[in-house]
Amino acid sequence: MSDSGGATASKYLAISGGVGGAKLALGLARVLAPHQLSIVTNTADDFDHLGLRICPDLDTVMYTLADLNNKEQGWGLEGETWNFLAALRNLGDETWFQLGDRDLATHLTRTAMLNQGLTLSEVTRYLCTKLGVNHQVFPMTDSRVATQVLLKAGGKLSFQHYFVRDRCQPEVVGFRFDNIDAATPSPAFQEVLHDPQLAAVIICPSNPFVSVDPVLSIPGIRNMLRDVAAPVIAVSPIVGGQALKGPTAKMMKELNMPQSAVSVARHYADLLDGFVLDHEDAELRPVVEDMGIATIVTSSVMITLKDRIQLAEDALSFSRTLTRGMSESS
C-alpha cells in the first residue's frame, strides 16, 4: 500500500527530547548510516539566559552523538570545568542554570550566529559539522516556542525554571507551548516527513508532555504523522511505572493518569503503529494491543552503549514488520 516497507525505504526519523531520547538516538546513529537517520529535537525548552540562547535538548543530542557528553549525568560535556560559573556567582548573577566553560562556546557561537540572522537550523547544522556529528540533527522549528508549566498552586513557570531551578518540585496541572500556533516545522523536518524513502518514525523514550508534545503540537505535524506512509513507533520512557529519567511519572500522577507505559501508548494512540515495552511491562501488551497498536517486549533500559545499540536494532527490526493500516505485533 506504500513504499514505506519496501526495500528502497531506508530512512528513519527519530523524535527526541534531551537525555533519555538522546540515548536511543545514539544507538540509532551507531546502527544507521548518516544519510539514513534524521533526528528532530524539541526546542520548546530553549530559553534566553544572560543574553545567550540556550537549547538544552539540541545540545544534549549533539554532544551525545559527538561522544563529547558527560556519560554520568547525560547532559553537558565530559571533562567540563566551572570557572565561569564561579566567577558569575561572585558577580551576583543567577547561577541555577549550569553553564560550563566549554559549553559556553556553543551558546555564544549560536547566539552570535542567530543575531547575524541565521536560522536555528542553519546554526545547528554548522555546530554539528564542527563537532563531528555526521547524522542529521535539527530543531523541530526555527520559530521561538517556549514551554510554560502550569502549576497546581496557580500561575506558571517557564520550563527551565521549573525543571532546573525548582527541580520539578511544584505540582503541575498542564503545559502550554507559547507561540506554538505560529510555529512552522523546520525545513529539514518538513523534508523528511515528505521523503518517500521514509521507512519509519521512532518516538524516542522522552517525556511525552514536555519533550514530545511540543514537536507534535507544531501546526500540521500531528496530522502529517497520522498521514505519513511510514509506520510510527514509540519506545516507552516509563518502565515498571517509573520514569527512567526525569519527571515523567511524577507528571502523570499530577495529571491524574496511571503511572504506566499504557498512559504513554494512550497519549500517542492516534499516531502509533507500534510500541516498545520493557520486559518488566510484558503484562501490559494486551492493553496496548487493544488500542490497535502492535507491541514488542525487549530490554529498554539503556545503561551501556551496547544497550542503546541493541534497543535501536530492536526498534528498527520491529518497525520493519509494520505497515500502516496493517499493524501487528512481531
From CA 300, how far away is CA 281, in angstroms rounded?
A: 10
| 270 touches a copy of itself (CB under 8 A) | no
| 50 touches a copy of itself (CB under 8 A) | yes
Cross-sheet strand order for the sheet of 274-278: 136-139, 37-41, 11-16, 198-203, 232-235, 274-278, 294-298
| 98 touches a copy of itself (CB under 8 A) | no
Q: Between 102 and 250, whose beta carbon lies closer to a copy of itself?
A: 102
Q: Which residue carries 526555527 as its cell?
A: 142
The interface region with a copy of itself, picked from 78-86, 150-158, 248-256, 260-268 by CB under 8 A, is: 78-86
| 33 touches a copy of itself (CB under 8 A) | no
Q: β-pairing, 294-298 with 274-278?
A: parallel
Site string for a copy of itself, 116-155 (x = CB under 8 A): -----------x--xx------------------------
The interface region with a copy of itself, picked from 105-113, 164-172, 180-188, 311-319 by CB under 8 A, is: 105-113
Quick one: three-class SS letters along 88-136? HHHCCCCCCCCCCHHHHHHHHHHHHHHHCCCCHHHHHHHHHHHHCCCCE
Q: Between 111 and 310, whose beta carbon lies closer to a copy of itself?
A: 111
Residue 155 beta carbon to a copy of itself: minimum distance, rounded to whole angstroms: 24
Q: Indicate the burial class of 18 (C-beta count within 10 angstroms; 0-12, 13-18, 19 or more).
A: buried
Give SS3 for 29.
helix
From CA 28, how far away is CA 68, in angstroms rounded?
A: 17
Give SS3 for 230.
coil
The interface region with a copy of itself, picked from 103-111, 206-214, 238-246, 260-268 by CB under 8 A, is: 103-111
From CA 225, how far away is CA 234, in angstroms rounded?
A: 12
Residue 56 beta carbon to a copy of itself: minimum distance, rounded to whole angstroms: 17
Residue 131 beta carbon to a copy of itself: minimum distance, rounded to whole angstroms: 8
Residue 11 beta carbon to a copy of itself: minimum distance, rounded to whole angstroms: 28
Q: Between 130 and 176, whose beta carbon lies closer to a copy of itself?
A: 130
Q: Between 86 and 269, whose beta carbon lies closer to a copy of itself?
A: 86
The H or E element spanning position 222 is helix 221-227
Q: Between 92 and 286, whose beta carbon lies closer to a copy of itself?
A: 92
Q: Which residue carries 526498534 as its cell?
A: 315
| 310 touches a copy of itself (CB under 8 A) | no
Residues that bind a copy of itself (CB under 8 A): 50-52, 77, 80-81, 83-88, 90-93, 101-106, 108-109, 111-112, 115, 127, 130-131
